[in-house]
Every structure is written in C-alpha cells, then in structure tokens.
Amino acid sequence: MTPPNHTKGQPVQCACMTDAFAALPPELRPRPKKKSSLRKVTCPGCGLVYWTNRETDLCMECEKKGLAART
Ligand SMILES: [Zn+2]
C-alpha cells in the first residue's frame, strides 16, 4: 500500500505589506507661505506706525480725510 500524499492545504499569503501612506503626493504637504511685500511705514498725517504693502505712507484714515491731496 502506498501512503496517500499529504498535501497541506495552506493558503498562500502575500507577504508584501503595501503602505498606503508611503507614497503621499507632494501636493498634500504643507507649503511655506509666500512672503508678502509688507513694509513698515509712518503715516505723515497722524504719525501712525503701521505695516502696508501700498506705495503711499498715508494710512487709510488719512487717505479718507483727503490729506494725500494736500500740497
Ligand atoms: Zn494717518
């Protein structure tokens, strides 16, 4: 008598562990903020020291008062 072949019915397991977070696209990374062109000025009208990115040194209040048009 020949003994029957003992075939082990083990399922083939895939050993490759796929990491879903390893291939994050660079779009998801936080970008550094773009540096603005702010400059520190002193308003010639009221002496207010503030930051602005405009060309005039006059603050918004003095500009509304019309001091910019004064010659
Ligand atoms: Zn002002």
Residue 4, amino acid: P
CA of 55 to the centre of ligand 1 (A): 14
- Distance (Å) from CA 46 to ligand 1 centroid: 4
15-48 pLDDT per residue, tens: 566 666 677 777 776 666 666 789 999 999 999 9
* Token pair 């082990």: residue: 8
Ligand 1 centroid–CA 65 distance in Å is: 9
Closest CA to 42 of 64, 66, 65, 58: 58
**Do the Cβ atoms of 59 and 46 come closer than 8 Å?**
yes
How far is the centre of ligand 1, averaged over its atoms, from the C-alpha of 34 (Å)? Answer: 28
Decide: 61 and 50 in contact? Cβ < 8 Å: no
> What is the chain's Cα-based Rg?
36
Whether the pTM exceeds 0.75: the reply is: no
